[in-house]
Chains A and B, each alone.
Chain A
Amino acid sequence: MIRRALLLALALLAPAAASAADLSADALLRSHLWREVRAAPVGRRPKVGLVLSAGSLRGTAHVGVIKVLQDAGFPIDVVAGTSMGAVVGAFYAGGIPVDKMWEIASELRLDTGSNFSGSRLISLILFDSLLSSANTAKLVRKYLDDKRFDQMKKPFACVSMDVYTGEAIIFRNGDVATAVRASMNLPGIFRPLEYRHRYLVDGGVVDYIPVDVARLLGAQWIIASDTENDYTASRPKSVLDSLEQVIDIRGSYLSREQRKQANFLIRPPVGDIGMFDAKRIPEAMERGVIEASRDLDAAEESLILASLPLLSKDWTPAQAAAR
């Protein structure tokens, strides 16, 4: 009797029995072709670009997305990012391991990227005294030293905007930390950064999802992680909320076309996380993992289909010999 009761408890407590390997034709063919895509150098598959959107602290979800792509052996050849996407992208392209990135993001606070504090905020509102984003550069330098773009492990670019001309400024050379700081320099809160005779603010205003920038880096197939705000979810309750809302709405309009240009889009559901909601960073990263895991098969299939014309060039004796 006891034995039966124990067995019953085992059955009730235990999750479902081991799932058998998926031996369907679609799954097997995907696995078979994915092996070949993963092992193929650029040329036998398209050059793959990873694009990380703006999105302030919501953008930490990119870390979760990268973790899943890396676990799956997804080939990434170039990286482009805006604002928080630039921070995460710089770390990734600079060769910081994803576990370390997770750790760094988990420790982010409001003042990590700025001199944000209660008194500074009062000063901002009462005396129109903008905050400094110098801490962003400090954070990047802490892990990447004074790396320049040409010293990164993967080609990387990020976007900022010149407030005098409204131009999108794409950084592809020079000091990475300064460029990343310029890319994540929220207008209305942070003082514009004067750099290379430009007056720079956050790139999210003009290029929320920098798919075009990845193309400039030579990407032929682009996977983008988009951490857009769900501005319909709540009404702004403060000056900062209102500012964020306006920037996000504008960013959303501008990025519609960019989204269509990406070959594959991962959209972690982080729209309800506020731009200064540092307590929810771990949750944002987890949502990135969950969403990317859910989309992984489809992403692999998309890249396989894009790679087939190149891969198949080696599948006939004549073509293989010609190559």
Chain B
Amino acid sequence: MRRALLLAAALAAAAPVPARAWRLFGEPSDGKIRPVQALNDADKPAAVIAALTPQFLQTLRGTDLRQAYVLLGDNYDRLGRPDEALGYYQVGVSLFPKNVDLLTRLGGLLHRNGLDARAKVFFERALVYEPRHWGAHLGLAEIDRRFGFLDRSADHYEIALEAPEVVSRASVWRDYAEVLRRMREEKTAELALRKSLTLEPNSADARVDLAFVRRDQGDYQEALVQLDAAIGLGAGVGAVRAKALFLLEDGRLAEAAAAAREVLGEVPGDAVGEWTLARVALARGRPADAARALTAVRDASEDGFAARAAQVLLAQVKALEAAPKGGASR
């Protein structure tokens, strides 16, 4: 009873969001599911599954039965058995086709397993019954982002981010910012990332994202400040790679070479490290050094893009090396 009251209070606190996911006791039922719910709340997935036997399910009705399918799906999923979770969600959806909890859970599970086209259908169905369901909007935002529908994705993120459950999640702000950046709405992306950093000030990933946005805005100084901050927070060699390239783009050749050497110190033969050194050597009129670095990229990174790019540039550099010699001999 106390829990039910607390729950009602919690739902009332989240006033803008229609009560949905936690209305276990909001509709008539026999309340037989409560002990199983307690096992679920106590994080005992195996016990939940053991308790929800087919015989027990036959005794349930209304919201109890619906919640039983939610619990079965959730707990099989927690145990890392998505196929069985999927089966229970599907049965639940066929029995309660308008229930947004089941629809969004089914959509979420399909989405997490890469079945986005199928997941989308369930999220969209959930929105028919509850147009501002944050879980469905978040799922659709992810799917549209993956499929390339950036404007739709941004719209879904914006609605999801109005929900109290989501607005404090730094990761969602970052995802939203990434979509905005791809739409080349850098200023809004920056604002979203700053919000993310307010929530998680020590997020190296958010600093890296912000660095990319600032670079898109042409502010290399700030971009490099953010990258340095990310590196300080343990962003790893990837951020140092980015730093080398940003410095190169900004024409700061000596610093770019220093960052490249730092990368190569950590990852010998690293494609970005060698490429940066090659570009610096070219800019300083040392094609032989550039050729050496590009050969290293070509030979080290097999068939990746860097190797193919190095191969093309190497051919140009070799032609360049040959040209002055020809001129001198004449």
Q: A4-B41, A15-B139 in contact; A26/B301 too (CB < 8 A)? A: yes
CB atoms of A316 and B147 under 8 A apart: no
Q: Please, which residue of chain A has its CB at the minimum distance from the CB of B272?
A: A25
B183 / chain A contacts, CB cutoff of 8 Å: 71
B317 / chain A contacts, CB cutoff of 8 Å: 312
CB atoms of B282 and A315 under 8 A apart: yes
**Does A10 have its Cβ within 8 Å of any Cβ on chain B?**
yes
Distance, CA A9 to CA B10, complexed state (A): 14
CB atoms of B41 and A29 under 8 A apart: no
* Residue among B111, B313, B315 making CB contact with A15, cutoff 8 Å: B111
Q: How far is the CB of B272 from chain A (nearest CB, A)?
A: 5
A318 / chain B contacts, CB cutoff of 8 Å: 285
**Does B165 have its Cβ within 8 Å of any Cβ on chain A?**
yes
CB atoms of A12 and B205 under 8 A apart: no
The secondary-structure label for the interface of chain B is helix
Q: How far is the CB of B300 from chain A (nearest CB, A)?
A: 9
**Binary contact readout B113-147 vs A (1 if CB under 8 angstroms, 0 otherwise):** 00000000000000000000001001101100001
Q: Please, which residue of chain A has its CB at the minimum distance from the CB of B112?
A: A16
Q: How far is the CB of B175 from chain A (nearest CB, A)?
A: 5
CB atoms of A308 and B111 under 8 A apart: no
CB atoms of A25 and B241 under 8 A apart: yes
A312 / chain B contacts, CB cutoff of 8 Å: 282, 313, 316-317
Q: How far is the CB of A45 from chain B (nearest CB, A)?
A: 13
**Does B1 have its Cβ within 8 Å of any Cβ on chain A?**
no
- A105-137 residues with Cβ-Cβ distance < 8 A to B are none
Distance, CA A277 to CA B238, complexed state (A): 48
Q: How large is the interface on A (under 10, 10 to 19, 20 to 34, 35 or more residues)?
A: 35 or more
* Residue among B43, B209, B248, B271 making CB contact with A25, cutoff 8 Å: B271
* Residue among A4, A8, A15, A32 making CB contact with B249, cutoff 8 Å: A32
**Binary contact readout A259-289 vs B (1 if CB under 8 angstroms, 0 otherwise):** 0000000000000000000000000001001
**Does A234 have its Cβ within 8 Å of any Cβ on chain B?**
no
**Binary contact readout B227-246 vs A (1 if CB under 8 angstroms, 0 otherwise):** 00000000011110110010
Distance, CA A308 to CA B313, complexed state (A): 7
**Does B35 have its Cβ within 8 Å of any Cβ on chain A?**
no
Q: A15-B138, A16-B112 in contact; A68/B148 too (CB < 8 A)? A: yes
CB atoms of B184 and A290 under 8 A apart: no
* Residue among A20, A28, A293 making CB contact with B205, cutoff 8 Å: A20
**Does A233 have its Cβ within 8 Å of any Cβ on chain B?**
no
CB atoms of B309 and A33 under 8 A apart: yes
Q: How far is the CB of B137 from chain A (nearest CB, A)?
A: 11
CB atoms of A289 and B147 under 8 A apart: yes
CB atoms of B148 and A21 under 8 A apart: no
A73 / chain B contacts, CB cutoff of 8 Å: 184
Distance, CA A14 to CA B168, complexed state (A): 13
CB atoms of A12 and B77 under 8 A apart: yes
* Residue among A10, A23, A24, A319 making CB contact with B208, cutoff 8 Å: A23
**Does A239 have its Cβ within 8 Å of any Cβ on chain B?**
no
B195 / chain A contacts, CB cutoff of 8 Å: none
CB atoms of A21 and B42 under 8 A apart: no
Distance, CA A296 to CA B40, complexed state (A): 44
Distance, CA A290 to CA B148, complexed state (A): 6
CB atoms of A316 and B272 under 8 A apart: no
- B190-236 residues with Cβ-Cβ distance < 8 A to A are 205, 208-209, 212, 236
* Residue among B170, B175, B242 making CB contact with A23, cutoff 8 Å: B242
CB atoms of B239 and A23 under 8 A apart: yes
Distance, CA A155 to CA B328, complexed state (A): 45
A29 / chain B contacts, CB cutoff of 8 Å: 245, 271-272, 275, 305-306, 309
B313 / chain A contacts, CB cutoff of 8 Å: 308, 312
Q: How far is the CB of A70 from chain B (nearest CB, A)?
A: 10
**Does B174 have its Cβ within 8 Å of any Cβ on chain A?**
yes
* Residue among B150, B304, B306, B312 making CB contact with A308, cutoff 8 Å: B312
**Does A78 have its Cβ within 8 Å of any Cβ on chain B?**
no
Distance, CA A286 to CA B117, complexed state (A): 12
A315 / chain B contacts, CB cutoff of 8 Å: 279, 282-283
CB atoms of B271 and A26 under 8 A apart: yes
CB atoms of B138 and A14 under 8 A apart: yes
B40 / chain A contacts, CB cutoff of 8 Å: 5, 8
Q: Please, which residue of chain B has its CB at the minimum distance from the CB of A291?
A: B148
CB atoms of B241 and A23 under 8 A apart: yes
B245 / chain A contacts, CB cutoff of 8 Å: 28-29, 32
* Residue among B3, B104, B178 making CB contact with A13, cutoff 8 Å: B104
**Does B171 have its Cβ within 8 Å of any Cβ on chain A?**
yes
CB atoms of A308 and B316 under 8 A apart: yes
* Residue among A2, A15, A305 making CB contact with B108, cutoff 8 Å: A15
Q: Please, which residue of chain B has its CB at the minimum distance from the CB of A288?
A: B148
A308 / chain B contacts, CB cutoff of 8 Å: 309, 312-313, 316
**Does A186 have its Cβ within 8 Å of any Cβ on chain B?**
no
**Binary contact readout B307-330 vs A (1 if CB under 8 angstroms, 0 otherwise):** 011001101110010000000000
Q: Please, which residue of chain A has its CB at the minimum distance from the CB of B320?
A: A316
Told that A13-B135, A26-B306, A305-B309 touch, could you supply 12 new A-B pairs with CB distance under 8 A?
A: A4-B41, A10-B165, A14-B169, A16-B112, A19-B175, A25-B304, A32-B249, A293-B147, A304-B309, A308-B309, A309-B312, A319-B320
Interface residues of chain A, those whose CB is within 8 Å of chain B, are 1-2, 4-6, 8-10, 12-21, 23-26, 28-30, 32-33, 35, 68, 71-73, 286, 289-290, 292-294, 296, 301, 304-305, 308-309, 312, 315-319
Residue contacts A-B, CB under 8 angstroms, 6 given: A5-B40, A9-B22, A25-B271, A71-B184, A308-B309, A308-B316
Interface residues of chain B, those whose CB is within 8 Å of chain A, are 3, 6-7, 10, 21-22, 38, 40-43, 74, 77-78, 104-105, 108-109, 111-112, 135, 138-139, 141-142, 147-150, 165, 169-172, 174-175, 178, 182-184, 205, 208-209, 212, 236-239, 241-242, 245, 248-249, 270-272, 275, 279, 282-285, 287, 301, 304-306, 308-309, 312-313, 315-317, 320
